[in-house]
Amino acid sequence: SQQGEEDPQALSIQEGENATMNCSYKTSINNLQWYRQNSGRGLVHLILIRSNEREKHSGRLRVTLDTSKKSSSLLITASRAADTASYFCATDAHGDYKLSFGAGTTVTVRA
Amino acid sequence: DTAVSQTPKYLVTQMGNDKSIKCEQNLGHDTMYWYKQDSKKFLKIMFSYNNKELIINETVPNRFSPKSPDKAHLNLHINSLELGDSAVYFCASSPTGTDEQFFGPGTRLTVL
């Protein structure tokens, strides 16, 4: 079964708005990662947050991690049309690089 | 200068056939993976190799056999293809000791 579950399944926003998506997982983790997948392409790594971290930033991305609630959020600020993609969270539970992915959130940014 | 490449990009074949998908990475990574993404976009790990040694082997039918001739290549051979094998297969790699994985563009397999 999938370790992570993203919410919402789909999100449609206007260019310039912020997009927030959440990921919940079931077991304790070593780290949590977010990936982006453009249509018909492979996944691209966005950001990794370790279990002892609470927040991380990378450009327009902000990731939070709440291990007590077993959840993470990804915020994309000032969205652009190029941000249209599916976003996946992936958890590494045992530090063995075996990632468990959720089903993803599909984000559509309207011009 | 593609980092992780896969061939072919599309593969259409009949049930019962045997097919292979090739993966190569030029990043110098020690670890390579195969993932299967189904029609609902669920991505599931199948295999992982570290320096040509199998380290992860999920519950995958024996019809699937990975082969790593060297640490830059990880091929996937599938025997007796079934309709349920239709999916997108992704190869990925990562440096040993780190967690970020680099994905190939995927191979869309359609079994008729």
- Asked if pLDDT for residue B92 goes beyond 60, the answer is yes
Average pLDDT, chain A: 92
Contact status, residue B93 vs residue B101, Cβ threshold 8 Å:
yes
Range list of β-strands (E), chain A: 4-7, 10-14, 19-25, 31-37, 43-50, 55-58, 61-66, 71-76, 85-92, 99-101, 105-110
Token pair, residue A43, equals: 């996944």
Sign of CA dihedral A23, A27, A31, A37: negative
Contact status, residue B5 vs residue B23, Cβ threshold 8 Å:
yes
A49/A51 Cα distance (integer angstroms) = 7
Q: What is the mean pLDDT of residues B55-78?
A: 91
CB contact under 8 Å between B45 and A33, yes or no, is no
Q: What percent of chain A has pLDDT over 90?
A: 77
What end-to-end distance do the CA atoms of chain A give, in Å? 36
The pLDDT tens digits for B44-58 are 999 988 888 888 888
What end-to-end distance do the CA atoms of chain B give, in Å? 34
- Asked if pLDDT for residue A15 goes beyond 90, the answer is yes
More confident residue, A32 or A98: A32
B79/B108 Cα distance (integer angstroms) = 16
Distance from the Cα of residue A87 to its chain's centroid? 5
Integer angstrom CA distances of residue B14 from B9, B29, B90: 17, 34, 21
- pLDDT of A3: 66
Token pair, residue B99, equals: 């967690």
Contact status, residue B20 vs residue B29, Cβ threshold 8 Å:
no
Q: Highest-confidence range of A33-47, A96-110, B84-98, by mean pLDDT?
A: A33-47
B93 and chain A in contact, CB less than 8 A = no
- pLDDT of A6: 86
Q: What is the mean pLDDT of residues A55-70?
A: 97
Q: Which of B5, B7, B43 to mutate to test the interface with A (most CBs of A within 10 A)?
A: B43
Residue position matching structure tokens 């995958």: B60
Q: What percent of chain A has pLDDT over 70?
A: 95
- Asked if pLDDT for residue A1 goes beyond 50, the answer is no
* Three-state secondary structure call for residue A16: coil
* Three-state secondary structure call for residue A53: coil
Question: Looking at beta carbons, which residues of chain B come within 8 Å of A43?
Answer: 43, 90, 92, 101, 103
Q: Which of B6-15, B74-83, B94-103 has the lowest mean pLDDT?
A: B94-103
More confident residue, B35 or A102: B35
Q: Which residues pair with B110 in a beta bridge?
A: B12
Q: How many angstroms separate the CA of residue B61 from the nearest CA in chain A?
A: 17
The pLDDT tens digits for B2-36 are 699 999 999 999 999 999 999 999 999 999 999 99
